[in-house]
Amino acid sequence: MPENNVVQKVVTERVDWTENLLISVKKWALINGINIILAVIVFLIGFFICIQIRKFALKILKKSTIEPSAINFLTEIIYFLAIIVVAMISLSVAGVSTTSLAAVLGGLGIGVGMGLKDNIGNVASGVFILIFKPFQVGDYISVSGYEGNVRNIRVMYTQIETTARQMIIIPNLQINNSIIKNYSFFDTRNIEFNFDVGYDTNLVKCIELLRKTFQKDKYVVDKKIVEVYVKGLAEYGVRIYVRVRVDRKAYFEAQSELYINALEALDKAGIELPFPKLEIYQKNNESVDNKKA
């Protein structure tokens, strides 16, 4: 039957192709047998060397200031690259053309890289953060519109806990492309604020009173850096500018106490803080009476 002939023909062609492939492989193995054995030996020796390189890299990186979470990642990258080099050398010893193989791997790498562009960017940015340390775990930072304490730094993302106790997960690529404010970079932080006093206030006495009040505050770490100045003239009073330096770990507590102490000191001195007032003038009720009549 015609159908059986077609099937038989296809099967015969497949068998012939398989036999030819086996013959070709056998010939290649006979010709390059010694090279194959050498390639296996080279790969085994190279594999052992790669393991030693990984151990050595891990030992060196642990002595550095790199974050522990980045050490294993960097070690595995070094190990992976070393394995690729050993594999290429082994294939070359076996008689395989590594030029075409490298071209294929290169094209494959470009394709994968384009597809995983953002992920690769996150990984690269994560390594950058872990190595150069623009911030560390525990720092209070502001980045990408979010502000809080850094709870975790991963290769792909960073976790920030806000003061409202929200866990924000930000991709490292986004962080690396943003302006980072690290409030924990120094051991101290400045507290700055403005307020207005009335135009009839004795400004010299007011400034001296506030300066002495802030210098006595327990949170102020540098008594010399207590700045109280007249900043300008506002609509309802004279604007006073204040800047003091406190321990960054007690920033919010210090800020609250400074406000309270300033208000109490001004109140005791009889200095009032101006605020908008609305005065309503009412004409006589003549028109109202006329309407009633």
Q: Give 188-247 pLDDT, tens digit per residue.
A: 999 999 999 999 999 999 999 999 999 999 999 988 889 999 999 988 899 999 999 999
pLDDT given for residue 137 in this prediction: 87
pLDDT given for residue 283 in this prediction: 67
pLDDT given for residue 7 in this prediction: 53
Neighbours of 185 (CB within 10 A): 15
Does residue 291 surpass a pLDDT of 60? no
pLDDT given for residue 155 in this prediction: 78
Share of the chain above pLDDT 70, in %: 78
CATH topology for 133-182 is SH3 type barrels. (2.30.30)
Ranges of H-type helices in the chain:
2-31, 33-63, 68-93, 98-115, 117-132, 172-176, 203-215, 251-268, 286-292
Tokens of 254: 């210090």
Q: Phi and psi of 191, rounded to 5°?
A: -105, 125
Give me the helix-helix angle, 68-93 and 117-132, nearest 10°: 120
How many CA atoms lie within 13 Å of 231's alpha carbon, on the beta-carbon side?
Answer: 15
DSSP character string of 127-158: HHHHHH-SS-TT-EEEETTEEEEEEEE-SSEE
Domain boundaries, the chain: 133-182, 188-269
pLDDT given for residue 292 in this prediction: 46
Domain 188-269, what architecture? Answer: 2-Layer Sandwich (3.30)
Does residue 10 surpass a pLDDT of 60? no
Does residue 13 surpass a pLDDT of 90? no
Residue 290: exposed, middle, or buried by beta-carbon count in 10 A (0-12, 13-18, 19+)? Answer: exposed
62-118 pLDDT tens trace: 887 776 666 777 787 788 888 888 888 888 887 776 666 666 666 666 665 566 567
pLDDT given for residue 245 in this prediction: 93
Q: Given pLDDT bands bounded at 50, 70 and 90, which one contains residue 160? A: very high
